[in-house]
Amino acid sequence: MTLGKFIRSTALCLTLGVLASAGQAATVTTTFAVNTTISSVCVVSTASTGLTFATYDPTASSDTLGTTTFKVQCTSGLSYTVGLSAGGSTTDTARTMSSGANRLNYSLYSDSGRATNWGASTGALTGTGSGLTTENTITVYGKIPKNQYTPGVGSYSDSITATITY
């Protein structure tokens, strides 16, 4: 083979090799992280009717009882506490409703047996969120003790704030 044929053959092979490799796809890969943080969130609904006791009779032989409910929705797995304020009273262990200058004692409880006074921290209800699409129904149990003879005739009221801490 002559030097000229050798150079032409080599050039042809190199050209075909370059053209062949140009037709092949090359692949390069990388990885990356995908992250997020889920916020701690709770939503509370207003009690639909409030806690409205039946008409109080001071001479009745039993306490006057009532209940109300509201709903709490929290991020799944989130621990929360529900506390109830003292309302217009100075302490949540001696709540009073008022009608002008008149006062009528009542209590709020976290249990149906009305044994655990429900305050802002003492007796506060605890729970764990089930997700924001799941409502946890919270029941407030109220009691007006019997034998309160001194309050005058009238409509009595108080306003309680439920605080959800998470």
- Return the bridge partners of 125, or none: 82
Average per-residue pLDDT in the chain?
A: 87
CB 121 within 8 A of CB 32: no
Average of per-residue pLDDT across 118-146: 91
Mean pLDDT calculated for residue range 8-31: 66
Sequential DSSP letters for 9-27 = HHHHHHHHHHHHHHTSPP-
**118: how many CB neighbours lie within 10 A of its CB?**
25
Tokens of 89: 């009273």
Spatial CA neighbour of 135 closest among 44, 71, 80: 71
- Signed CA dihedral, 9, 13, 16, 22: sign only: negative
Alpha-carbon torsion 94, 116, 63, 138, what sign? positive
What is the DSSP-derived secondary structure letter of residue 61?
A: S
pLDDT of residue 9: 59
What's the CA dihedral at 98, 99, 101, 106 to 10 degrees?
A: -30
Is the predicted pLDDT of residue 3 greater than 60, yes or no? no
pLDDT over 50 at 151, yes or no: yes
Which residues 6+ apart lie within 8 Å of 128 measured at CB?
74, 77, 78, 79, 80
Percent of the chain with pLDDT over 90: 70
**Residue 96: φ, ψ to 5°:** -135, 145
Statement: residue 69 has pLDDT above 50: yes
Q: Helix or strand or coil: residue 158?
A: coil
